[in-house]
Structure 1
Amino acid sequence: MMTVLRQALFCLLLLWLPVSWAADIGWLRSPDNDHASVRLRADTSADGETRLLLDVKLEDGWKTYWRSPGEGGVAPSIAWKGEKPTVDWFWPTPARFDVANITTQGYHDKVTFPMVVRDTPPDVFTGVLTLSTCSNVCLLTDYPFSVTPTVQEPTFAHDYAQAMGQIPLATGLTESLSVGARAGELVVDAYRAGGWSAPELYLDTVDEADFGKPHIRVVGEKLQATIPVHDSWGEGAPDLRGQSLTLVLVDNGVAQESRLMIGEAPAPESAAFPLWQVVLMALLGGLILNLMPCVLPVLGMKLGSILLVEEKNRHQIRRQFLASVAGILVSFMAMALLMTVLRMTHQALGWGIQFQSPWFIGVMTLVMLIFSASLFGMFEFRLPSSMTTTLATHGGHGLAGHFWQGAFATLLATPCSAPFLGTAVAVALTASLPTLWGLFLALGLGMSVPWLLVALRPGLALRLPRPGRWMNTLRYLLGVMMLGSAIWLATLLLPHLGFSTNSAIKESVNWQPLSEQAIDNALAQNKRVFIDVTADWCITCKVNKYNVLQKDDVQAALQQPDVVALRGDWTLPSADISEFLKKRGQVAVPFNQIYGPGLPEGQALPTLLTRDAVLQTLVDAQGAKP
């Protein structure tokens, strides 16, 4: 109640004593906000032009906002009363604040906003300033004011000139500047003779679009900034092409404000390959999946199904392998459908992301246990015809089991990022929908090649030895392989249950969390950066880890004083890691990259690491020694 009375008394005093604030209202503070002080001054000494200065002082740890606050906050505004003037409000160059993955643009400590009245000024400027100030909490405060414009003392001219010196210029920083839009992001390209020191970029609001924190890369005199874009609901990005955008680019104390038309941004570098090359990569990537360790259990299943055929004949074997090919192709088409739905609903895209789902892992574990138990002779499947489309019919002539063998082979292959596969999938997920479906079909055809060869030449399968006791031994061996796969799948549930999955082999490398800021900080200190994006469900990641990253010489190289080791764990869904991979044209793990003074743009390593590739690229990243 006392607060209401004080506010009422304060407003009455404003109306009762307007003359006491003739040209300077003095510093105002609100009883509801003791973290900010404001002052408004008006001057008519500049050749009949009326100028205003709005001063804001903030306590330590508090901030207010630019005209485009970013993902949170409210810009300062004035609601004029009585005879409303037409005022041009100038905005000093802001700073950026990042709190809890939210980026905002504004000011701290103190800021002065210069203004110019474009028409005949009123005898008295009256209104209410609304100011948003934030620290751990945010306050929206109103400051009623009334000020009469007069000839101010000389200090006003000095203060006004100083305030205008903080306003970005229209030219003077860049020789060329352009902005384009592509799926989910803006791309700003700039050229500055003499290079860049510590550039920053601030973006004005565009209707129906919110911008994330810019990621800036500099190579010599060229700068490229990529800015995440989503709609006001935090979902998909609207089409910004053809719209106008105002941005402020700052470097080494020089700020330039430009208004540009948003054009078409070039596709990520991964899409620079001709389509025929990408199709060839998809075919080869799919073929190589058959050689990856994640597919071996399913190849064992297929071999077991051939051995258990009662009377081997060419026609039957051809039908079985064609059914498996159908399972592979249908599975790849199902993945293409899933990726299409995810893209249309603006969700994260990636190769193997189904292994981030505990339900998917649980179902796959159960299926592998059932097949393992069957191979150990604990029971056999002899299902009625109405259920032949569910699981394999061991010992019968149904084709459903062979179809599902192909499907399981595909599903178990997705944790692996084989050579050529990453590039093909990255292009598919950023290309048009017809191209996406075509490339996933090429992946399926590539993986189907060995199966098609047997279908075309059944004699290859007929060359297997005659049935005998060795078949029981092989059957138990296949059962062990299946059981091992089931146990491996079960371990993937541990992160979802809150259990640690750290390796039993203790690494001596001090891995730091992966972030763009960590990369920038290391490069600013002329350090090298080794990046490892991995996941517990990624078999290729495990191969790289045990065969390369945990070797003594590699561990020693990663412990050098000028090397920063960053690791991103994609075992569970992570928007930050998805965005990190997307910016580099990647959609699969493992992903390894090295930065340094000699490699400021970073160099991606092969999917299957070698010690020589890691060690040599680390040497290249050092650059020329002084």
Structure 2
Amino acid sequence: MPFKRARLKHFAVGLLVLAGLSLDPQSASAAASDWAVEEQVKVRLLSAGQTVPQDAVAGDTVKLGLEFDLKPGWKIYWRSPGDAGFPPAIDWAGSRNLAAGEIAWPVPHRFSLFGLETFGYGDQVVLPVDVRLEQPGEALSLTAAVDYLICEEICIPYRANLALDLPAGPESRAPQAFLIDSFSRQVPGRGAERGLSLESAVLTGSLEAPVLEVTARSETPFTAPDLLVEGPPGFGFAKPEVTLSDGGLLANISVETSRLLDHQVLEGKQLTLTVTDGARGLEQGSVARFAAMPAAAGIEPLALLGILGLALLGGLILNLMPCVLPVLSIKLLSIAEQGGREKRHIRASFLASAAGILFSFLLLASAAVALKAGGMAVGWGIQFQQPLFLSAMALVMALFAYNLMGFFEVPLPSFVGNLAAGGSDKGLLGNFGTGALATLLATPCSAPFLGTSVGFALSRGAFEIYLIFTALGVGLALPYLLVAVAPGLASWLPRPGRWMITLRRILGLLLAATAVWLLSVLAAQVGMIAALLAGGLLFGLGLVLWAGSTLRQKYRLATPAAASLLALAALALPSGLPLEQSGGKAVSAESVWRALDTGAIGRLVGEGQVVFVDVTADWCITCQVNKKLVLDTAAVSDRLSDPGVVRMQGDWTLPSDAISAYLASFQRYGIPFNVVYGPAAPDGIALPELLTTDAVMAAIEKAAGTGIAEAGPADGGGS
């Protein structure tokens, strides 16, 4: 019946169009292409105007329409076809004076068949198309290759080749404008008469099987409300159950969801909700959130204690990860400077460092909660994707290095000296800063057990995030807390002496190397020239600080002024430049690695291939260690080079929503991350953060179905 009502309405509109055509058939044909005729359908391109207005200005659009006239029972698809099909697409190659063309999608119909839910159009439909011109006010020549799929009991793909020329001239409305306007008013979000609003959209039920509950209101009683849900890949949405109340003005819509993989979580993902009622529609974006985390969607107390234990252990192991080695140099100097001091001073300094770690983890938890509330991607170490953070950390590392090498002793500015002098009697603030720095430099790494706990936290609510991040902080701070409990451990070290000067210089060189590494990561984001300029400014800062005593004899404020200007310039220069590109760096044509293509994995596995995925980043030192010690070794490299193995690499050096979503589908929010797919493991085998040759080889054989060895737990302890 909706089709019959739509047919009558379109028949009436057609009469108006025919009346217009009879008045001026020549001009009417000039505003429409010839029909592309198939047995089941006719397709043509329409224009709402007979000309391109000569007085058009930049930003103006030409209104077109792509008309389909289908035989009864046949359909084409909406922009999001549902469980099957694909929508019409237009290739404008060969057109002249065309900058871009964008299809708008009127309210579709739902088709339910054998448990499959699809969305599209039957009988007659016009898809409005807004076209931007390269040169406003000049003639437009359109060549459109339209690929579309029509279905009844069978589906047939077609291509229609259409052409339409519009001369420049005074603005002149074509008879086809009535038809285009009729369907434009059915595009959700257009047409003042729609009278629809979305009052709420929340998840209920469990994390494993959530139910989307939507409440919509109408200014006039609903007749046949429906809800179309567009979400991330891997999730399905059933036909909704609708209950009307308040005299038909309020629709309570419930949609059961499903997921392709067991580890996928809908909570926190971006959804597009389209509420329809006949020809009326309202479209609105929403982030999938639970109204409250019910007990059924939560976790048993004993299981939560287990997650907290993993978080504690993961934070402790993080002290030993390669990316935390620069922090160990600061720890070593701090411990060495405690030799021979009173126990109360040792205890206070180490407690201050532990407090800095815990404070920093609470800040990270707060940032994660805020980002999730805003519907943004959340990940472990994502601050290393931001040029401002990298330039600030490079500046801090350079100042630490110059202080340790004796270039300056007077703090410039004051808090920098306090941070670098973390072991002095007046250095409680400095020890606090050392703990905070330990946390910041630890975040590019993912350690065993860390992925499990962070993945769980970021898929839950604020309470779990704060609780688990606190446990991670306690784990990272355990060495400090151990010395605070037993300060006699520090007294075993020799008392400070001349050997400290040599040690300070060595550690200063290590921190300078860290600054160089940070600049190399920065180069991947803002370009090599900008990174070299920032490095030159930091080197100049070192020269100024080294020559500071000489300058101060002649010019009292010369050193502070010059150092401050160089530091500010090094900080601001990279952050003021645009990113080189977003979404990760492209894999070079010469590389043996393909760029990560999640859509191709299933096809390759179906062809009997094994797919090895490596998600990496320039700022992830553990990733580079895995590559050097495992992936680039002869045995593993030869196995990955087999014809039956495809290597895919996702580069997360720059922000990428696609990679963030891919990691989240495995409950991972940090890297390194490696997974192996194959005929015997179509859902993938996740590998530990620290790779071993045996684990990689075993996973490949298991995925291929040629071996029975286990790859080992995904987080070194269970993921």
TM-score (norm 2): 0.57
Q: In the superposition, relative to structure 1, how do residues 557 and 273 fare at CA in structure 2: closer, same or farther (>3 Å)?
A: farther
Contact 2:419/2:429, CA 8 A, preserved across alignment? yes
Q: Work out whether 1:553 is the aligned partner of 2:635.
A: yes
Q: In the superposition, relative to structure 1, how do residues 214 and 456 fare at CA in structure 2: closer, same or farther (>3 Å)?
A: closer
Name the counterpart of 1:211. 231
Name the counterpart of 1:354. 383
Match 1:106 to one of 73, 87, 93 = 87
Match 1:329 to one of 358, 379, 391 = 358
Contact 1:508/1:555, CA 8 A, preserved across alignment? no
Matched ranges for 1:358-397 at <5 A: 358-382=387-411, 392=421, 395-397=424-426
Q: 2: CA distance between counterparts of 1:136 and 1:266?
A: 50
Name the counterpart of 1:498. 527
Name the counterpart of 2:512. 483
Measured after TM superposition, the shift of residue 332 of structure 1 is 0.2
Q: In the superposition, relative to structure 1, how do residues 516 and 163 fare at CA in structure 2: closer, same or farther (>3 Å)?
A: closer
Q: Work out whether 1:411 is the aligned partner of 2:440.
A: yes
Name the counterpart of 1:237. 287
Unaligned ranges ≥5, structure 2: 1-13, 46-63, 91-107, 111-122, 134-149, 156-201, 212-224, 237-257, 274-282, 529-579, 708-719
3-state SS in 2 of match to 1:484: helix
Measured after TM superposition, the shift of residue 33 of structure 1 is 3.7
Q: In the superposition, relative to structure 1, how do residues 108 and 455 fare at CA in structure 2: closer, same or farther (>3 Å)?
A: closer
Match 2:19 to one of 9, 12, 21 = 12
Contact 1:417/1:590, CA 8 A, preserved across alignment? yes
Q: Which amino acid aligns with 1:525?
A: E
3-state SS in 1 of match to 2:287: coil
Name the counterpart of 1:132. 127
Q: Which amino acid aligns with 2:351?
A: L
Measured after TM superposition, the shift of residue 380 of structure 1 is 1.4
> Could you tell which deviates more after superposition, 587-596 or 304-313?
304-313
Q: Which amino acid aligns with 2:231?
A: F
Q: 1: CA distance between counterparts of 2:523 and 2:401?
A: 21
Q: Work out whether 1:444 is the aligned partner of 2:485.
A: no
Contact 1:114/1:163, CA 8 A, preserved across alignment? no
> In angstroms, what is the RMSD of aligned CA positions?
4.9
Q: In the superposition, relative to structure 1, how do residues 413 and 9 fare at CA in structure 2: closer, same or farther (>3 Å)?
A: closer
Query: What's the CA shift string for 1:198-245, capped at 9, x where partnerless?
Result: xxxxxx9727x54355569xxxxx98377864246885425699xxxx
3-state SS in 1 of match to 2:384: helix
Q: 2: CA distance between counterparts of 1:369 and 1:114?
A: 62
Q: 2: CA distance between counterparts of 1:74 and 1:272?
A: 59
Q: Work out whether 1:296 is the aligned partner of 2:328.
A: no
Q: Which amino acid aligns with 2:392?
A: V
Contact 2:234/2:259, CA 8 A, preserved across alignment? no
Q: 2: CA distance between counterparts of 1:489 and 1:413?
A: 13
Q: 2: CA distance between counterparts of 1:521 and 1:302?
A: 50
Measured after TM superposition, the shift of residue 421 of structure 1 is 0.2
Name the counterpart of 1:460. 489
Q: 2: CA distance between counterparts of 1:551 and 1:285?
A: 27
Contact 1:37/1:57, CA 8 A, preserved across alignment? yes
Name the counterpart of 2:657. 575
Q: Which amino acid aligns with 1:622?
A: A
Q: 1: CA distance between counterparts of 2:397 and 2:634?
A: 36
> Could you tell which deviates more after superposition, 295-304 or 511-520?
295-304
Q: In the superposition, relative to structure 1, how do residues 385 and 411 fare at CA in structure 2: closer, same or farther (>3 Å)?
A: closer
Measured after TM superposition, the shift of residue 469 of structure 1 is 3.0
TM-score (norm 1): 0.65
Unaligned ranges ≥5, structure 1: 1-6, 18-28, 40-53, 61-72, 79-88, 116-127, 139-161, 168-179, 190-203, 217-221, 242-263
Provide the identity percentage.
38
Matched ranges for 1:595-606 at <5 A: 595-606=677-688
Q: 2: CA distance between counterparts of 1:497 and 1:271?
A: 46
Measured after TM superposition, the shift of residue 357 of structure 1 is 0.4
Q: In the superposition, relative to structure 1, how do residues 596 and 182 fare at CA in structure 2: closer, same or farther (>3 Å)?
A: farther
Q: 1: CA distance between counterparts of 2:315 and 2:296?
A: 28
Q: 2: CA distance between counterparts of 1:386 and 1:473?
A: 25
Name the counterpart of 2:546. none
Q: In the superposition, relative to structure 1, how do residues 59 and 613 fare at CA in structure 2: closer, same or farther (>3 Å)?
A: farther
Name the counterpart of 2:260. 224
Query: What's the CA shift string for 1:241-275, capped at 9, x where partnerless?
Result: 9xxxxxxxxxxxxxxxxxxxxxx99979x999921
Query: What's the CA shift string for 1:57-89, capped at 9, x where partnerless?
Result: 2489xxxxxxxxxxxx999899xxxxxxxxxx9
Contact 1:354/1:360, CA 8 A, preserved across alignment? yes
Q: 1: CA distance between counterparts of 2:301 and 2:29?
A: 58
Measured after TM superposition, the shift of residue 166 of structure 1 is 5.4
Contact 2:65/2:129, CA 8 A, preserved across alignment? no
Q: Which amino acid aligns with 2:87?
A: G
Q: 2: CA distance between counterparts of 1:163 and 1:14?
A: 31
Measured after TM superposition, the shift of residue 381 of structure 1 is 4.1
Q: 2: CA distance between counterparts of 1:277 and 1:578?
A: 26
Q: 2: CA distance between counterparts of 1:223 and 1:306?
A: 51
Query: What's the CA shift string for 1:432-479, capped at 9, x where partnerless?
Result: 211110000000011111100000111000000233332222112211
Name the counterpart of 1:32. 31
Q: 1: CA distance between counterparts of 2:109 and 2:358?
A: 66
Measured after TM superposition, the shift of residue 354 of structure 1 is 0.4
Query: What's the CA shift string for 1:314-349, capped at 9, x where partnerless?
Result: 110100000000000000000001001101111110
Measured after TM superposition, the shift of residue 298 of structure 1 is 2.0
Contact 1:294/1:413, CA 8 A, preserved across alignment? yes
Q: In the superposition, relative to structure 1, how do residues 454 and 386 fare at CA in structure 2: closer, same or farther (>3 Å)?
A: closer
Match 2:600 to one of 499, 518, 523 = 518
Query: What's the CA shift string for 1:396-434, capped at 9, x where partnerless?
Result: 523110000000001000011000001100001011211
Q: 1: CA distance between counterparts of 2:671 and 2:413?
A: 41
